Amino acid sequence: MSDTSQTTVPESTADACRQSRTLVRDSARSWYVLGVLTLSYALAYIDRQLLNLLVDPIRRTLVISDTELSLIQGMAFVSAYLMAAPLFGRLVDITNRRNILVAGICLWCACTALCGWADTYVGLFAARFGVGASEACVFPVCCSLISEHFSPRAAPRALSIFTAGQWIGAGFSLVAGGFVVSLADSVRPAFPMFNALATWQIAFVLVGLPGLLLAAVLLLSVHEPVRRTTPAAYSDDRPFSLRESASFIWERRGFYGRVYIGVGMLAIVTLAMPAWLPSYLMRSHGVSPALVGYRLGLLAVILGTTGVLLGPWVARIFERKGHRDAALRTAGFSMVGMFFFCVALPFAPSARGVFIAAAGAIFCFSLPIGIIAAATQLSTPSRLRGVVASLHTFLAQSIGFGIGPTAIALITDKVFGDPRMVGYSLGIVSSIASAIAAWLIFTALPHYRRMLDERHIDLK
């Protein structure tokens, strides 16, 4: 669809019928909305990462094993996230998206605070389940809203800034978590209700409650935009039925199937690196845990954010050379680079070499995240973007968590039989996943061009 700077479209909901709004794309207002949505994404990562900083205190208080705690870290969160993502994707396409996000923030903040009030294993598991289910709304809601607020040319940059929120949130969670833990004991005199809580419990309460302020800001200052119409056979001015949604995606499975599985392969690398790279550095190169955490954390925040933000800039270079499929083309080349850095990891002669290879891999696997999301959103009708985004995050999480860390552990234990060989296992799994991801994205290029033609998208 050819971009226009200003479009007024009748909204199908009752609220929009009563109150007509004009949405100016790429405006200062659009960038404000993007900032609030990015902050929401960062907040979600802070809430979900806090648990990882409090492992030992929680184990001591609840008298549980590492295995039991790992179920709270992984299964409780991921299973809820995967079950809720398709539901939120459907709701995004048929209801008020802003209200879904406001409700989601309130729910995950409340569940984070409930993690602090939990005094049993079952209670903490249930609260963590609630965090995972409610946070599943963020990606589909925000992708759909950003695609409404920005033109096809600006959307890749906007979505890249949004996805940088995960790196900002993950890095800030280390700082904020440590600060909150140190602050917890000092708040007891002012709030007697905290006297019966352990320090880790107070930390959850203090991290969870401030998010309610962000929900209030969203409710008061961000409005549900009108959905834009399309000249295609599937009109954006009415919701898709479930049958139409499935039919649309299936008819274009050459594009969606390759991109979704490619994103899953990418997720294997992005989840495998933080899971096993620290162990490789400590076991094979004798690096202290503190130094590993500091250096890898710094690399993740700086290079992860830089990679995500540079993705649209690199794509524009390809666009100026006449490539309409620049977003996916850029993603494919970044995955080729990721492949070579993953291959180099186990052969690095020193810890410094491992950190250099890891830095290159982090930059390469962060660069395509935003532009792939932009490509799928721009080539999809507005009323189907929630479902498409939810499938995107569903497959990324399920393939990434389901294959990545476990496959590395199995190769280390069953093939090599030596914990010190984890670097080779990491290199094998990550390089294979990178190669498959690159092949899938490159073979999706002709399908992507046809999708753009079908939607009459002009990227100039």
Domain ranges of the chain: 24-222, 239-455
Whole-Å CA distances, 251 to 109, 257, 341, 453:
39, 10, 36, 15
* pTM listed for this prediction: 0.72
The DSSP string of 38-75 is: HHHHHHHHHHHHHHHHSHHHHHHHHT--HHHHHHIIII
Whole-Å CA distances, 434 to 167, 268, 270:
20, 9, 10
| Cα 288 to Cα 310: distance, rounded to the nearest angstrom | 32
pLDDT at 328: 93
pLDDT tens track for 282-327: 888 988 866 776 787 788 888 888 998 899 899 989 988 989 899 9
pLDDT at 53: 66
| Cα 232 to Cα 236: distance, rounded to the nearest angstrom | 9
Q: What are phi and psi of 452, to 5 degrees?
A: -65, -40
Beta bridge partners of 7: 23
Calculate the CA 30 to chain-centre distance: 21
With CA atoms as reference, report the closest residue to 143 among 245, 33, 269. Answer: 33
Is 268 in contact with 430 (CB distance < 8 Å)? yes
For 3, the token pair is 């971009």
Is 262 in contact with 395 (CB distance < 8 Å)? no
Is 336 in contact with 438 (CB distance < 8 Å)? yes
Q: What are phi and psi of 24, to 5 degrees?
A: -100, 115
Residue 4: helix, strand or coil by DSSP?
A: coil
Is 391 in contact with 260 (CB distance < 8 Å)? yes
Is 13 in contact with 91 (CB distance < 8 Å)? no
Number of Cβ within 10 Å of residue 312's Cβ equals 25
Calculate the CA 324 to chain-centre distance: 26
Which CATH architecture best describes the domain 239-455? Up-down Bundle (1.20)
Calculate the CA 84 to chain-centre distance: 15
CA dihedral 395, 396, 397, 399 (to 10 degrees): 70
Of all helices (H) and strands (E), which one includes residue 6? Answer: strand 6-7
| Cα 346 to Cα 427: distance, rounded to the nearest angstrom | 6
pLDDT-based confidence at residue 252 (cuts at 50, 70, 90): very high
The topology (CATH level 3) of 24-222 is Growth Hormone; Chain: A; (1.20.1250)
DSSP strand E in 278-393: where? none
Task: Give exposure, 422-431, as e/b (b: 16+ Cβ within 10 Å).
Answer: bbbbbbbbbb
pLDDT tens track for 167-195: 777 666 656 666 666 676 677 777 777 77
Of all helices (H) and strands (E), which one includes residue 24? Answer: strand 23-24
Maximum average pLDDT range among 112-121, 149-158, 229-238: 112-121
Is 295 in contact with 301 (CB distance < 8 Å)? no
DSSP secondary structure letter of residue 459: -
Residue indicated by tokens 């499935």: 246
Least confident stretch, 24-33, 55-64, 109-118:
55-64
Higher pLDDT, 67 or 252: 252
Is 8 in contact with 128 (CB distance < 8 Å)? no
Residue 15 has pLDDT above 50, yes or no: no
The yes-or-no answer to whether 24-222 and 239-455 have a common fold is yes
**Burial zone of 240 (CB within 10 Å; 0-12 exposed, 13-18 middle, 19+ buried):** buried
pLDDT-based confidence at residue 5 (cuts at 50, 70, 90): very low
Percent of all residues in the chain with a pLDDT value above 90, rounded to a whole number: 37
pLDDT at 406: 79
Higher pLDDT, 457 or 451: 451
